[in-house]
Amino acid sequence: MSTAPAAQAKTALSRYLDPRVLNRVDKLELGARQIVEGFMAGSHRSPYHGFSVEFAQHREYSMGDDPRHLDWKLYAKAGRYFVKQYEVETNFVAHILHDASESMLYGSQKAAAPKLDYANFLTAALSYLIVHQTDAVGVGIFNEGLATYIEHKQSYAHIHRICHELEATKPLKKTDTGAIMHEFAERIKRRGIVILISDLLDKPEKIMEGLSHLRFARHEVLVFHIMDPYELDFPFDGLIKFEGLEGYEDLLCQPRMLRKSYLAALQKHVMAVKTACDRNNVDYVLINTAQPLEIALTSFLQSRALRRVRR
């Protein structure tokens, strides 16, 4: 039997789970700022302690599952390992919506990584952090529509699959961020946390409508807006040919003649997104890909923890 898929998954895992990032965030929590289903009993609880719980179902054992949940009686009958699942087995379920449209391929000389790689590292780190604090995470990779959906689970083996899918993703087509938020607002039945990781190159109205739909469904929403430093500063000079992405044609121009209007349009777009997030009580963070991920993520988690204490 070929071991290639397993080897590829291991390679992807080692690539995207950067020890520098994990060392910085290991002691932090992505706690729910609002009360979501299953969170009121507190984080990191065991289903066997503190209160009574109801058995929900059996699930076949996967590498990384807690062996304390193995049903030995069922093993004696079936000869296979199964774990018991309970109604309150996890504190919350997080769904990460990961933008894999063509514009995410961009990366300048000043960036730590192209936007897509940076988003991959962020998705992997958040997935690890969520599972590490005994919660469940699922990932939806999207462009014009949902390209890949990884059902939520709470096990370290699940991180291998997430990293493998991130590694295998080939960015295509345009972004339809609004549509994917609408889809997940309908898809997710249990209230939880939805994390959007995208460069948000979509119409602000569509983004606003998607955010409103998720919040109407009572999900807590976090938005990581991924931008390259050259996109933020537009430092180009001379005669430059810009490569068209997501269906746009190439453009030959003198950037200094466009800089003022470009920066004004960018500021207007960012403010529209931030206003939509504020209006819907959504956490928004603009990430410059020139900043090391461990610093950006640690800063966000620490500021989020402070806001929770003040509330």
Residues 241 and 267 in one domain: yes
Tokens of 214: 């998720």
Q: Is residue 50 part of a domain?
A: no
Helix (H) or strand (E) holding 136: strand 136-142
Q: What CATH number did the domain enclosing 116 receive? A: 3.40.50.410
How many Cβ atoms sit within 10 Å of the Cβ of residue 175? 25
Indicate the pLDDT class of residue 285, thresholds 50, 70 and 90. Answer: very high
Q: Is residue 140 part of a domain?
A: yes
User: For the chain, what is the total number of helices (H) and then of strands (E)?
Assistant: 10, 10
User: What percent of the chain shows pLDDT beyond 70?
Assistant: 71
**141 or 20, which is more confident:** 141
Q: Is residue 135 part of a domain?
A: yes
Indicate the pLDDT class of residue 68, thresholds 50, 70 and 90. Answer: confident
Q: Is residue 46 part of a domain?
A: no
Residues 82 and 127 in one domain: no
Average pLDDT over every residue of 252-261: 76
Is residue 174's pLDDT more than 50? Answer: yes
Residues 211 and 299 in one domain: yes
Q: Specify the pLDDT at position 191.
A: 85
Residues 60 and 187 in one domain: no
How many Cβ atoms sit within 10 Å of the Cβ of residue 262? 14
Residues 190 and 75 in one domain: no
Q: Name the amino acid, one letter, at 159.
A: I
Q: Specify the pLDDT at position 26.
A: 53
Q: Give the pLDDT confidence of 203-246 residue by residue, as tens digits.
A: 889 999 999 999 999 999 999 999 999 999 988 776 666 665 55
Residues 104 and 194 in one domain: yes
Is residue 289's pLDDT more than 90? Answer: yes
Q: Is residue 156 part of a domain?
A: yes
Residues 150 and 179 in one domain: yes
User: What is the bridge-based pairing of β-strands 251-253 and 240-242?
Assistant: antiparallel
**What total of structural domains would you count in the chain?**
2
For the four alpha carbons of 275, 197, 62 and 185, in that order, the dihedral sign comes to: positive
Range of the domain at 72: 55-86
> Which is nearest to 167 in space by CA: 49, 268, 25, 17?
17
For the four alpha carbons of 214, 216, 221 and 227, in that order, the dihedral sign comes to: positive
Q: How many whole angstroms separate alpha carbon 8 and alpha carbon 165?
A: 10
Output helix, strand, coil percentages for the chain, rounded to the nearest 5. 45, 20, 35
Q: Is residue 49 part of a domain?
A: no
End of a domain among 64, 86, 108?
86
Q: What is the mean pLDDT of the chain?
A: 78
Which range among 149-163, 183-197, 203-217, 295-309 shows the weakest confidence by mean pLDDT? 295-309
Q: Specify the pLDDT at position 3.
A: 47
Is residue 154's pLDDT more than 60? Answer: yes
Q: Is residue 22 part of a domain?
A: yes
Q: Is residue 226 part of a domain?
A: yes
Q: What is the dihedral of CA 108, 109, 112, 114, to 10 degrees?
A: 30
Residues 269 and 300 in one domain: yes
Residues 163 and 303 in one domain: yes
Q: What is the Cβ-side half-sphere exposure of residue 286, based on CA atoms within 13 angstroms?
A: 14
Q: How many whole angstroms separate alpha carbon 248 and alpha carbon 268?
A: 21
Crossing angle of helices 115-132 and 4-16, rounded to 10° = 90
Residues 228 and 135 in one domain: yes
Residues 80 and 165 in one domain: no
164-167, Cβ contacts within 8 angstroms, sequence gap of 24 or more: 164/5, 164/8, 164/9, 164/12, 164/13, 165/139, 165/141, 166/12, 166/16, 166/98, 166/120, 166/123, 166/124, 166/141, 167/8, 167/11, 167/12, 167/15, 167/16, 167/120
Q: Specify the pLDDT at position 238.
A: 66
At residue 110, what are phi and psi to the nearest 5 degrees?
-85, -10
Residues 160 and 17 in one domain: yes
Q: Specify the pLDDT at position 308.
A: 59
Q: How many whole angstroms separate alpha carbon 229 and alpha carbon 104?
A: 13
**What is the reported pTM?**
0.74
HEC secondary structure over 233-260: HCCCCCCEEECCCCCCCCEEECHHHCHH
Integer-rounded Cα radius of gyration of the chain: 21
Q: Name the amino acid, one letter, at 163.
A: C
